[in-house]
Amino acid sequence: MHELGVVFHIIKGVKKVAEENDLIKIASVTVELGQVSTVIPHYLTDCWKWACDKEDALRGAELKIEEIQAVTYCEACGKTYGTVEHGRTCPYCGSGKTYLIQGDQVMIKEIEAC
């Protein structure tokens, strides 16, 4: 499952920060999840609970998910627009020369210790 890999990636990052800051027990982790990241929040939470149970520092830690809006930039007219609403074609000038500037990331935003 794709989400499980993402969870392991998050846990690895959390453990690194915990070690660097001498955190023994983690209360919650806030993750920024892009709208077009292909990660399903519901699955992510399920995998999180399962994986955290195997880690002493993370057992019972809460996963908070913040959704980040997907934004696309148009090279032709220099404007940005919502990716989910308009896709790859610029709604202002009709150009297809566009690329995603945010919204596909899964990032740790905040780690809260007990």
In the bound state with Zn ion, the residue whose beta carbon lies nearer, of 95 and 105, is 95
Window 74-113: residues binding Zn ion (CB under 5 A): 74, 76-77, 90, 92-93, 95
In the bound state with Zn ion, the residue whose beta carbon lies nearer, of 43 and 73, is 73
The reply on whether position 27 binds Zn ion by CB under 5 A is: no
In the bound state with Zn ion, the residue whose beta carbon lies nearer, of 53 and 75, is 75
Burial class of residue 5 (count of CB atoms within 10 Å of its CB; 0-12, 13-18, 19+) = exposed
Max distance between CA atoms of the chain, in angstroms, equals 54
**And the tokens for 41?**
């929040």
Window 33-62: residues binding Zn ion (CB under 5 A): none
Residue 83 near residue 46, CB atoms below 8 Å: no
CB 86 to Zn ion: min, Å? 10
Stretch that binds Zn ion, among 2-10, 11-19, 20-28, 69-77 (CB under 5 A): 69-77
In the bound state with Zn ion, the residue whose beta carbon lies nearer, of 14 and 90, is 90
Binding residues vs Zn ion (CB under 5 A): 74, 76-77, 90, 92-93, 95
